[in-house]
Amino acid sequence: MAGTDSTRRPAKATAREAVDGAPAIILVHPQLGENIGMAARSMLNCGLTDLRLVKPRHGWPNDKAIKPSSGADIVLENARVFETTSEAVADLQLAIAATARPRGMAKEMMTPRRAAVEMRVFAAKGSRCGVVFGPEAKGLNNDDVALCDATLSVPLNPAFCSLNLAQAVLLVGYEWFLAGDQAPDSALPISKHTRPANKEELLGLFEHLERELDACGFLRVREKRPIMIRNLRAIFHRARLTEQEVRTLRGVIAGLSSKPRS
Q: Which of residues 57-76 bind a second copy (CB under 8 A)?
A: 70-72
Q: Which is nearer to a second copy, 58 or 238 (CB)?
A: 238
**What's the Cα-to-Cα distance from 208 to each of 120, 135, 213, rounded to whole Å?**
31, 31, 9
Least distance to a second copy, CB of residue 7, Å? 6
Out of 24, 25, 26, 46, name the contact with a second copy by CB under 8 A: 46
CA distance 79 to 65: 12
Q: Are 40 and 65 in contact (CB under 8 A)?
A: yes
Opening angle at CA 19, ends 183 and 17, nearest 5: 30
- Choosing from 61, 82, 142, 154, the residue that interacts with a second copy (CB under 8 A) is 154
Residue 223 touches a second copy, criterion: CB under 8 A: no
What's the Cα-to-Cα distance from 176 to each of 17, 26, 35, 113, rounded to whole Å?
Answer: 11, 15, 21, 7
Q: Is the peptide bond before 61 cis (omega within 30 degrees of 0)?
A: yes
Contact set for a second copy, span 85-114 (CB under 8 A): 98-102, 104-114
Q: Which of 31, 86, 142, 257 binds a second copy (CB under 8 A)?
A: 257
| 8 contacts a second copy (rule: CB under 8 A) | yes
Residue 25, interface with a second copy (CB under 8 A)? Answer: no
Nearer to a second copy, 80 or 208 (CB): 208
Length of the chain: 262
Pick out residues in 159-218 that bind a second copy (CB under 8 A): 159-168, 170-172, 174, 177-178, 181, 183, 185-191, 209, 212-213, 215-218
Whole-number Å distance between alpha carbons of 258 and 262: 13
